[in-house]
Structure 1
Amino acid sequence: MKLFSILTLLFLLSGCWEYDTKNTSSDEVEIVDGHTLPPDPGEAGKETLLGIDSNHDGVRDDVERWIYKTYEHPIERGLFMQNARAYQKVIMEPYKAHETTKYLDDALSCEFYWTYHAKDHNESFYLDEYRSLEDEIKGIQFNTAERFMAYEKYNEEFDGEVFSAPSATKEKCRFNDHGELNSVP
């Protein structure tokens, strides 16, 4: 038994265990339901305001990975990806709030469709009306002080203004039935 313990310890110290960990690193291509995830940016993804978007779909890699690993339904993923793309535009240009708010309005219009009208159209998927996608995504989307401050600057641009909710329509959804985003607008 002592010999087995010593051999196990030598095996671990020899680097064989280290080799196994390297094989499961984030350098490997990860595919979730046919969607190739971008590489995990790690802490490098937090070093700049805009982060890393290696596949240029308008959604930061860390957020895209979180969405595909957290949610299973394609429509749900599409809703979150559309929201994430809109929030990325907010972060990118918070002082152009009146121009970029259309992306959030489209995302909200799409979300309203899947919350309030999907059942009426015999859709196989619908959102619970008490669910807030915004609450679910904010923690990952605004995960640095700089990103949160950009979001706050965006909101300040609307100080004192009153808005009506956008209409609920599936036409404002910017993703296909597989949850994949349409080309970057």
Structure 2
Amino acid sequence: MSRVLLFNKPYGVVCQFSCDGLHSTLADYIAVPDMYPAGRLDTDSEGLLILTDDGVLQHRISDPRYKLAKTYWVQVEGTPDEAALEKLRNGVNLSGFMTQPAQVKIMNEPENLWQRIPPIRERRNKPTSWLELVIREGKNRQVRRMTAQVGYPTLRLIRYRVGEWTLDGLEPGIWREAAV
């Protein structure tokens, strides 16, 4: 029987079990043998990371051919206008790579959101906004590159959902077993 773990990856943690000498790793939080991440989050991103002991399931979760939706909460610098949101909805050209259309909307700051350590940089004269952005692919730093391309750099990135699995009830650095 396959096992699946849902982990709320804190900021600054590398999505690998082996030590890189610079950052905390998954081994500092998860002492379950034979578990492997299904996908990755950048060191400076937070949120839902799925781990499994089933290679086939790992592939189905992480391979964009299976079109598993990934929902991100994205804090951006500034307040995106409708033209910027429409660009994200239509796909963005990232240096020769055209992203698939994203679902995106402005949202309120998530309730009960934990403090990030270290906190984001804030400017007195520049407001920030939160977006809910859903994509079905996952190129390197894609969400950050997309928001920057439309003029609203990402300050904080939290993956909230992958398919039907969510962060609900998981504090940073905590994991739980999930039904497959």
Q: TM-score range by the shorter chain?
A: under 0.3
RCO comparison, higher one (Cα < 8 Å, 6+): 2
TM-score, length of structure 2 as denominator length = 0.27
TM-score, length of structure 1 as denominator length = 0.27
Flag the structure with higher strand content: 2
Flag the structure with higher helix content: 1
Q: Answer with 1 or 2: which has the greater Rg.
A: 1
